[in-house]
A = this chain, B = another copy of it.
Amino acid sequence: MHLRLSQFLTLTPNEISLLGELQKNSYAVPRNRDVIVQGYHYTSVFLLKQGAAIRYKIMHDGRRQIVNFVLPGELIGFPACLFETSLYSVSTLTEAIVAPITFDEIRALFGHSSRLAAAMFWQSARESAMYAEHLVDIGRRSAFERVGHLLLELVCRLRVIGLAEARSFDFPLTQELMADALGLSVVHVNRTFRRLRESGLVDVDGHHFVFKNLEGLAQLVDFESSYLSRFRISGLPFAD
């Protein structure tokens, strides 16, 4: 787990050891535990080494909107920690292993390798881009398309980090989570999801999701199969 930076650039041994250093204080976090709570101030971030989490926001009437899912190798509390007060909460979906990284350590890291700084920058840019995609989903797609998109996005992202097969994946995704991520009601997700199954597009057993006709689904919900490749960085506009 190298901050998933190796997706973008080849790390030098030195950089790898720097990253390894940061992870020495890993510890386990139980399921359904808030790692970051909206409204509070933080002075460190956490690398999610194992497990899954959600970034979400609770509104005054109790409704919840999940802004995205956090997968292994991604940073929790970033960029939330940059703000005076975190704008949203982050909660684990499974038991997880996190490695706290203090600002001091980040500063040192950046001093030693501006390439790593740049790489973190891209992570942030990627996240930004994914939010924009998500916005389009929620703003302009039907419930059916949204659910399809979410499933396809998850396989794609999990595949990149070796946590999914070509056409199936395991993930602690409940219908309530889908609803809160997609801006739908649980009841409607249930019906929509059933349609997906009855159409023979997807099979589910617990938390194991299988695409029985991935290409068909992708076409039906207007999912660009190049989803994640579009997030590939094209060049290094930064000094080494």
Contacts and interface: CB of A to CB of B under 8 A. Distances in A.
Interface of A: 41, 43, 55, 57, 59-61, 63-65, 67, 79-80, 82-85, 87-88, 103, 106-107, 110-111, 114, 117, 121-122, 124-125, 127-129, 131-136, 138-140, 182-183, 222, 229-235, 237-239
Contacts of A107: 237-239
A173 to B, nearest CB: 17
A138 B57 CA distance: 13
Contacts of A233: 82-84
Contact of A140 (B122, B129, B139, B183): B183
Nearest to A231: B83
Given A41-B234, A110-B238, A140 B63 contact: yes
Nearest to A111: B239
Contact of A222 (B59, B84, B85, B133): B59
Given A131-B135, A135-B135, A230 B82 contact: no
A103 B57 contact: no
B237 A83 contact: no
14 contacts: A59-B136, A65-B136, A67-B135, A67-B136, A79-B122, A82-B122, A82-B233, A83-B125, A83-B231, A84-B232, A84-B234, A88-B132, A107-B237, A110-B238
Contacts of A235: 43, 82, 103
Contacts of A125: 79, 82-83, 124
A129 B128 CA distance: 8
